[in-house]
Structure 1
Amino acid sequence: MRLNTIILSAVATASSINTRQQNCPEIHIFGARETTALPGFGSASTVVNLVQQANKGATSESIIYPAAGGNVYSASVTAGVTAVANQTNTFNKMCPGSKIIMVGYSQGAQIVDDAFCGGPDRVSLNTTKASISSGVSKMVAAIILMGNPRHVDGLPFNVGNATAGGFAARPAGFKCPAFENIIQAYCDAEDPFCAKGNKTATHQGYGREYGQAALQFVQSKLEGSNENVSNGTNVITTSTAPSPGFHGGYIWTVLALVAIFHL
């Protein structure tokens, strides 16, 4: 009787995992809002919505962090980097076959940048290592940064006419080799936060100015991620069903127990 219970439990567990992963989206979008914006996507919503509307069945999730300014800005960034790492890792564990899109705006761009490319970032982040998990790094297909205070001139993924760095600019010579081919960072010279300009309206207008360009970039990366890549840096899975090996492990366990039961 006990063996029968174990067998039934193994079958039920395999079925549960199968059902959960089959309900996973092919694409999941994370959006991080700007300083003082109300909880949700904030100005990142323009790109989040465009990508979600362009990809049937795609889901989205906002990064939950303070997005505070003033003398608690650094603490807010620290909390934000941790939130990006935790939320993306939690999702990836539940849906390891889903592709991930990151969209960050202003402070939201800074926390996404730091989580994927590491610091240091003054008192907000001491480590130079990325905070995200290896599973997330394999499944992220595109990263959109708008009005990023970490902006520095000369990076291969920069878009816009800004040459000055932001108020939390990366040091000269900075690179993010693991992700630079899937990042697009938008910053114009008149932006006071990513380029020390003097027009707040510029900082607030990236969704309108570059939303469609960001969408096209994301779509191009999603299309590229459908190809099998086996170079050790990108592992793309287009199916949301569990891997045969994982599900198969339960099947072989059940068969082994049945064989023992009949001996």
Structure 2
Amino acid sequence: MKKHESAVVSYSSEDSLDARMALFHKMNEYQATDDEKERSLGLFLRGSLLARILATAEIYQMIIDKPGAILDIGTWRGQTAVLCENFRAIYEPLHFNRRIVCFDTFEGYKGFSEKDKATDLHKDGTYGVGGDDYVTFLEDLLCLHEQNNAMGHNNGKHKVIKGDCCETIPQFFAENAHEFVALAFFDVNSFVPTLDAFEKVWARLIPGGVVAFWQLTRNTIPAEGKVYAEEIIGKYGHSVRRTQNYPGLCYLVKE
């Protein structure tokens, strides 16, 4: 199995990467009942992953008083969407109109062009997770989280949409003419789809709404930075910031 990007493109030393794997093995070897395992996941949560979770929570808290959906564009395995469902239940358990929509091909990156920096790690097909089978898995997983949360009897506030986001996002808005956006996470990582999706989302983003980019300042995956530098600055009214705990997660706030 190919190594995940975080083990290849990393600020960690070899010793730290070895310790990461040792922690992973400890998790697999952990001797406890299922109930105890479920309540002990924090034993194996690395600091850098915890930082991502805290950063996602930081952004979520910015939209608590804002109406609109949350879009996770380039959702991959859906972790951000799951976190947002749990933050919804924590911060606004009675907000039944807060819908979470995931967009992905689930077949890996797609759409690299001369604007991009394709590599053996980042190219068409990278990060595929199994297509339709994973769509079903993620739909079930989101529903289970929702049912476990406060007011879990009121469920079905999620949608997982498979396909090219250049086509599926405008189709979603066409089928949901009433829907607007409070928060959108981007992790598409190729220039043309990122720009196209951004333009469609921005048109539906409320004032004070947030667009978050996971890779905006990373030089190993330059698409988001290029879109921002070439197509967003000076054209869209916004402020730009980075999260406190995970500097790689940057976000725009619409004026």
With normalisation by structure 1, the TM-score equals: 0.30
With normalisation by structure 2, the TM-score equals: 0.31
- Indicate the structure with greater strand content: 2
